[in-house]
Structure 1
Amino acid sequence: MKKFELKSPLRGEGRIVRQAGGLHRYGHIIVAVEATQTEFSISWEVLPAQIPDVFKEAVYRGIKAMFRPDAKFGTYSTDGLLVRIIDGRSHETDSNEGSFEIASALALTAAQDSLLAG
């Protein structure tokens, strides 16, 4: 497996906004991806006023899903990675688990894109 080689932390932002038609969606999340000496971990650093705790598992699922064998980062090892949830927003009625699952995957992709661009 390939390994992410991070010389400095990466930052990524994911946002999903769908407010036309039937099901409304809103999720906004900002992550920082850093190298660490430990196993893969996710650090929740936002307040419930930013992203309610009820969406925490959905965020974790969205990030972990990106490392499944058939996903974008499936060929990468997660060892030595720390994903920090550093900011985000929710909407009282339009936010749901699916929105935050998608937004977290988009944020991780944006972080990786910044690595390739740099």
Structure 2
Amino acid sequence: GGRGQYGHVVIVFEPNPGKGFEFVDEIVGGVIPKEYIPAVKKGLENALTNGNLAGYTTIDIKARLVFGSYHEVDSSQIAFEVAASMAFKASKDKCQPVLLEPIMAVEVTVPEEYVGNVISDLIGRRGRIEGQSSHGHIQNIKAMVPLAEMFGYSTALRSNSQGRATYTMQIDHYEECPKYIAEEIIKKRNA
């Protein structure tokens, strides 16, 4: 036979909320030669891009490389990339990944007579009202609303305020998707 491919890694995955991907090399005693460590990280980065949940990129995870082994002849960079990728894929059931959705900071400026309509609409979009201030007859409403619920908002706002309100929105953070929505998304993506 020809040359085989051998790479063996033991990786501990942990949540890393708000900190992105972090790779920690905890190998001691040379059980994996230093030249293969970057390949392990690269294999994980590639696997994260394809995600473990409906193919979405995985974020906010810490990967600690704690053990492994190599073969003098059959080990290679690619073997360790593949081993790391396989370790990530195998972690899916144990790690219990969740689907995150972007939450937008929305600010609406509206005449006070339309405030009720605007707030009702934002709440109907799974929004959370964060604050409200008054400037004469004009109200400023601040809310956090999932991006998925903001499609068509310009038209709805125009309708709810007879065209007299304006709004801005920008990404604020990510939150776990409600379970019923996550299940629907995963079902569609895996179909």
- TM-score between the two structures when normalised by the length of structure 1: 0.70
Please state whether the residue corresponding to 1:67 is helix, strand or coil. helix
Moved segments of 4+, more than 3 Å: none
Q: Quote the Cα distance in structure 2 between the aligned partners of 1:27 and 1:113.
A: 22
Match for residue 83 of structure 2 among 89, 103, 107:
103
The aligned counterpart of 1:52 is 33
Q: Quote the Cα distance in structure 2 between the aligned partners of 1:110 and 1:83.
A: 13
Task: Say if 1:63 and 1:105, in contact at 8 Å, map to a contact too.
Answer: yes
Match for residue 68 of structure 2 among 88, 108, 115:
88
The structure with the largest alpha-carbon Rg is: 2
Q: Quote the Cα distance in structure 2 between the aligned partners of 1:60 and 1:72.
A: 15
The aligned counterpart of 1:33 is 13
Q: 106-115 or 83-92, which moves further after superposition?
A: 106-115
Matches for 1:71-82 after TM superposition, within 5 Å: 71-73=50-52, 74-78=55-59, 80-82=60-62
Q: 39-48 or 52-61, which moves further after superposition?
A: 39-48
Deviation track 1:10-43 (CA, whole Å, cap 9, x = no partner) reads xxxxxxxxxxx32311110011110124231000
Task: Say if 1:32 and 1:111, in contact at 8 Å, map to a contact too.
Answer: no
Letter in 1 for 2:87: A
Q: Quote the Cα distance in structure 1 between the aligned partners of 2:31 and 2:85.
A: 18
Letter in 2 for 1:87: F
Task: Say if 1:55 and 1:100, in contact at 8 Å, map to a contact too.
Answer: yes
**Structure 2: segments with no counterpart, 5+ residues:** 97-191
Match for residue 65 of structure 1 among 39, 43, 46:
46
Aligned length: 93
Q: Quote the Cα distance in structure 2 between the aligned partners of 1:111 and 1:77.
A: 12
Letter in 2 for 1:50: V
Letter in 1 for 2:24: S
Q: Which has the higher contact order (CA 8 A, sep 6+)?
A: 1
Q: Quote the Cα distance in structure 2 between the aligned partners of 1:57 and 1:100.
A: 9
The aligned counterpart of 1:114 is 94
- Alpha-carbon distance, 1:48 to partner: 5.3
Deviation track 1:27-68 (CA, whole Å, cap 9, x = no partner) reads 100111101242310001112521001001111111000122
Tell me the C-alpha RMSD between the 2 structures: 1.7
**Structure 1: segments with no counterpart, 5+ residues:** 1-20
Greater per-residue helix proportion = 2
